[in-house]
């Protein structure tokens, strides 16, 4: 079946521009996570959505980062006024009622 | 954010050799997981461990949940070229959000 998909796969932007990253979770999965993976680092938790509950935003590094999940399905991670340190791979994962998170292929963001 | 201490950072081995990598934490986790990430892909779950002292195998992979709940190891026996990738440990503290804390990864290279 279809897994988690993310778009775009690569994004190059100029410092100061806004970017939007999209995640399509596995159909029927109620939980959705965003992680950031910087070069040579493990994955860093950013934000978590569960059903209609208020999202857990405790991992967002600054107020330039925000995320939405519309209709309990697709999610968009927005980074405003991008900085060079925002360059990383942004990974999305979804989960059903079990505890296994299924990851998408990620979006590689490069801020020039 | 907090990360697990994973070692070694990288390994270069010959095909057929056995491999061992481990993770430690200063705090307790209720679940330990091991993921593998290949280039351009998101992490894929290899093994999940749910009880202190648990030893679980998945083919040539064996992982253990440390008795103190602060560490875990992963062994790969008789390595093959397709074992190449980055291996991550991850811990979950429990609760309903299943948020993961990741190690920085072990880059495994297998020479045929």
- Minimum Cα–Cα distance from A107: chain B residue: B40
Nearest CA to B20 among B32, B34, B4, B40? B34
Statement: residue B3 has pLDDT above 80 = no
Do A101 and B4 make contact, defined as CB atoms within 8 angstroms? no
* Size of the A and B interface in Cβ pairs below 8 Å: 64
Low-confidence ranges of chain A (pLDDT < 70): 1
d(CA B72, CA B65): 5
- Assess A46–B contact: CB distance below 8 Å, yes or no: no
CA B78 to chain A, closest CA, distance in angstroms equals 26
| pLDDT for position B40 | 87
Q: How far is CA A6 from CA A24, A94, B42, B44, B53, in A?
A: 6, 12, 10, 15, 37
Statement: residue B97 has pLDDT above 90 = no
Q: How far is CA B90 from CA A52, A98, B59, in A?
A: 26, 16, 20
Of the candidates B40, B96, B102, the beta carbon closest to that of A42 is on B102
Over its C-alpha atoms, chain B yields an Rg (Å, rounded) of 13
* List of chain A residues whose C-beta atoms are within 8 Å of the C-beta of residue B40: 9, 105-106
CA-angle at B91, arms to A10 and B60, nearest 5°: 85
Beta partners for A12? Answer: A110
Beta partners for B79? Answer: none
| pLDDT for position B2 | 59
């Amino acid at each position: 079946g279809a897994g988690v998909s993310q778009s775009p796969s690569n994004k190059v932007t100029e410092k100061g521009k806004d970017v939007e990253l999209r995640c399509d979770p596995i159909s029927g999965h109620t939980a959705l996570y965003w992680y950031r993976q910087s070069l040579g680092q493990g994955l860093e938790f950013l934000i978590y959505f569960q059903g209609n509950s208020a999202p857990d935003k405790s991992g967002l590094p600054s107020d330039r980062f925000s995320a939405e999940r519309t209709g309990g399905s697709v999610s968009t991670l927005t980074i405003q006024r991008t900085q060079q340190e925002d360059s990383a791979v942004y990974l999305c994962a979804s989960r059903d009622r079990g505890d296994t998170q299924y990851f998408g292929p990620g979006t590689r963001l490069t801020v020039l | 954010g907090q990360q697990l201490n994973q070692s070694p950072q990288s390994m270069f081995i010959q095909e057929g050799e056995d491999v061992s990598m481990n993770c430690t934490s200063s705090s307790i986790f209720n679940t330990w997981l091991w993921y593998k990430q290949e280039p351009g892909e998101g992490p894929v779950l290899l093994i999940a461990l749910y009880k202190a002292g648990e030893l679980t195998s998945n083919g040539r992979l064996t992982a253990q949940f440390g008795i103190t709940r602060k560490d875990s190891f992963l062994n790969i026996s008789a390595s093959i070229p397709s074992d190449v990738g980055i291996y991550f440990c991850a811990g979950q503290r429990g609760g309903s959000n299943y948020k993961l804390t990741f190690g920085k990864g072990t880059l495994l290279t297998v020479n045929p």
